[in-house]
């Protein structure tokens, strides 16, 4: 069996190795602390180890099945051109771009401290009104 050498395959192998390591260390710890008493916590610990093992293996399989990435760092996708879009799609795209630009402007205001000054002013107004009452 030949393993792929792309980043998704390597990440999946790391998760698979972590799953086996978790089981080995977990059961070793349970056996070391077992003593004479086997209680509910022992069975819960064993069940938790088993569940975590299964989840890690499933996650590793899902990552492996993503396939190799392109040189841009993401999986190949279908390309769409603005020339192929309808008027409604272009309008929706334009609205989305404007919304993103507005969000960027809000972040710029936040980093400039304008929002902090506005909040300070509002808090002062509220406290002034409360003191006058």
Given a contact cutoff of 8 angstroms between Cβ atoms, the answer to whether 46 and 30 are in contact is yes
pTM of the model: 0.48
pLDDT at position 35, please?
77
Question: Is residue 112 pLDDT above 70, yes or no?
Answer: no
When the pLDDT of each residue in the chain is averaged and rounded to a whole number, the result is 79
19's CB contacts (< 8 A; 6+ apart) are 52, 53, 56, 57, 60
84 token code pair: 């192929």
Q: How far is it, in rounded angstroms, from Cα 70 to Cα 128?
A: 60
For residue range 41-79, what is the model confidence (pLDDT) as tens digits? 888 888 999 999 999 999 999 988 888 876 555 555 555
Q: What is the pLDDT of residue 49?
A: 92
pLDDT at residue number 53: 93
d(CA 70, CA 54): 29
Is residue 132 scored above 70 in pLDDT?
yes
User: What CA–CA distance (Å, rounded) separates 29 from 33?
Assistant: 6
Contacts of 66 (CB under 8 A, 6+ apart): 8, 75
């Amino acid at each position: 069996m030949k393993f792929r050498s792309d980043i998704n395959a390597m990440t999946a192998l790391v998760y698979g190795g972590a799953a086996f390591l978790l089981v080995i260390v977990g059961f070793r710890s349970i056996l070391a602390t077992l003593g004479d008493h086997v209680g509910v916590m022992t069975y819960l610990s064993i069940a938790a180890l088993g569940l975590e093992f299964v989840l890690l293996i499933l996650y590793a399989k899902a990552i492996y099945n993503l396939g190799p990435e392109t040189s841009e760092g993401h999986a190949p996708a279908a390309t769409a051109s603005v020339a192929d879009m309808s008027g409604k799609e272009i309008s929706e795209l334009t609205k989305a771009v404007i919304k993103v630009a507005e969000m960027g402007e809000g972040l710029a205001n936040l980093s400039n401290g304008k929002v902090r000054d506005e909040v300070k002013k509002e808090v002062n107004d509220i406290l002034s009104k409360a003191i006058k009452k």
